[in-house]
């Protein structure tokens, strides 16, 4: 049951105040299972959600995923076509596939043996008319196949739009596509390579939004990441709002040549004048990105429960030559560095989750200089909690703030991000 007295139309008003006066999302947004369920329909379903890495699928295979309780099935045909379906048989609604596996081209339900092609078509209905009667004149298989979910692949990540109503991916994620192309070039995505070793997978006992909020700011670097702060100090990190569904930090302290002289290959279209740039945005709701001249890491967040989140990271390098044995140590050191950073964030996120049980905390406050992106994310979430008529529209215009490096709206309104 939804926490008593929580009304999105009223309880979230303070989130939309200017950052100097605003409060964050109230505790129920992190602890209430009814709001967790609400997010599934009003936050996740209506946007493009990262659901899996494309390399989870072999040729001619199926890969089941549960996303916030919804059984989903990824398929890849022998012709390399990736499609996404609801993982339920159209007959009696049984979960169709329980584990990843290669298939012969057909998917058979283990209940009544109804069979589907890898394209989702219903192709066989054994005994539907009685023993040995596999067809009926008034029963058509057409239209009774697996229910497909709208999907798109970008940067090696499979995205889905559950309700089918979001703008086309290229339109919805225009800021992400544009900025990524500016950094790695249009050829960069084709050059990305990874291996089974270059991965981090962990579960954090906190609400998924706390993971996002933590990633969006560098304010905690001196305390939580002292080693990283020595190399990339807080004063060199800046906030940036890329668009209504993308924000994060960027820095000018990344050095692609800090690898004992054995320099990893760099993305060929990366601007030589921008080699020291590192950008760390979140594509709302659940994709974390780290973009540097010689590698990219991507992290998918899977909300498991209102207070449990799985994080799956993969590190991508440029071209096959990055996996020459001469680079094994460099890649291992890089994995260790990022893995340590990700692990250092676990305890503060879990302690913030514990703090959300306190009646003494009611959303907190924001640093006008260092919490710009977190405030932006809170408003994005709050706008989805409200009626669909309040759902964000077109991206507002932003400009560079010369004081703290953040990107802010030029309009002087109580709602600087355009969410109301």
Which residues pair with residue 385 across a beta bridge? Answer: none
Domain ranges of the chain: 8-46+168-409, 50-154
pTM of the predicted protein model: 0.90
Class of domain 8-46+168-409: alpha beta
Say how far apart CA 34 and CA 411 lie, in whole Å: 36
Nearest partner of 294 among 175, 195, 155, 188, judged by Cα: 188
CB atoms within 10 A of CB 272: 7
Nearest partner of 211 among 223, 219, 203, 201, judged by Cα: 203
Estimate to the nearest angstrom the gap between the alpha carbon of 383 and the chain centroid.
18
Helix (H, G, I), strand (E, B) or coil at 267: coil
CATH number of the structural domain 50-154: 2.102.10.10
Q: How far is CA 312 from CA 80, 104, 198, 259, 335, in A?
A: 24, 29, 11, 25, 13
Nearest partner of 99 among 145, 61, 140, judged by Cα: 61
Residue 163: per-residue pLDDT: 96
- H or E element that contains 201: strand 199-204
* Structure tokens given for 137: 């004149």
Tally the residues of the chain: 420
17: number of CA atoms within 13 Å, CB side?
16
Residue 391: per-residue pLDDT: 40
pLDDT average per 10 residues of sequence, the chain (420 residues): 61 94 97 96 97 94 96 93 97 96 92 94 94 91 95 98 97 97 94 96 98 96 91 92 96 77 89 94 98 97 98 97 95 95 97 97 96 98 75 34 36 48
């Amino acid at each position: 049951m939804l926490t008593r007295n929580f009304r999105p139309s009223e309880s979230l008003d303070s989130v939309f105040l200017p950052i100097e006066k605003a409060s964050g999302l109230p505790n129920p947004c992190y602890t209430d299972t009814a709001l967790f369920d609400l997010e599934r329909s009003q936050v996740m379903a209506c946007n493009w959600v990262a659901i899996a890495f494309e390399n989870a699928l072999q040729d001619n295979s199926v890969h089941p995923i549960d996303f916030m309780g919804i059984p989903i099935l990824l398929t890849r045909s022998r012709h390399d076509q990736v499609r996404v379906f609801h993982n339920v048989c159209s007959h009696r609604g049984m979960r169709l596939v329980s584990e990843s596996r290669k298939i012969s081209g057909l998917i058979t339900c283990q209940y009544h043996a109804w069979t589907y092609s890898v394209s989702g078509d219903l192709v066989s209905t054994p005994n539907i008319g009685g023993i040995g009667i596999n067809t009926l004149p008034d029963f058509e298989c057409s239209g009774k196949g697996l229910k497909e979910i709208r999907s798109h692949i970008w940067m090696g990540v499979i995205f889905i739009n559950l309700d089918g109503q979001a703008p086309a991916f290229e339109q919805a994620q225009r800021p992400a596509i544009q900025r990524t192309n500016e950094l790695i070039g249009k050829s960069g995505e084709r050059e990305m390579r990874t291996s089974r070793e270059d991965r981090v997978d962990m579960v954090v006992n906190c609400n998924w939004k706390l993971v996002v909020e933590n990633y969006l700011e560098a304010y905690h670097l001196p305390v939580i990441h002292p080693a990283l702060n020595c190399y990339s100090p807080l004063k060199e990190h800046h906030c940036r709002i890329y668009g209504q569904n993308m924000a994060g930090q960027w820095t000018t302290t990344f050095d692609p040549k800090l690898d004992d002289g054995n320099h990893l290959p760099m993305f060929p279209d990366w601007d030589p004048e921008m080699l020291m740039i590192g950008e760390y945005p979140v594509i709302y709701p659940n994709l974390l990105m780290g973009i540097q001249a010689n590698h990219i890491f991507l992290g998918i967040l899977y909300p498991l429960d209102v207070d449990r989140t799985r994080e799956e990271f993969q590190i991508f390098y440029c071209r096959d030559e990055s996996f020459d044995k001469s680079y094994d140590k460099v890649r291992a050191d890089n994995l260790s560095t990022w893995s340590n950073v990700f692990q250092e964030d676990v305890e503060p996120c879990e302690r913030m989750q514990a703090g959300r049980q306190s009646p003494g905390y009611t959303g907190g406050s924001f640093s006008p200089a260092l919490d710009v992106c977190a405030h932006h994310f809170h408003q994005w979430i709050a706008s989805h909690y409200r009626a669909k008529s309040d759902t964000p529209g077109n991206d507002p215009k932003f400009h560079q703030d010369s004081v703290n490096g953040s990107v802010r709206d030029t309009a002087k309104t109580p709602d600087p991000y355009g969410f109301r």
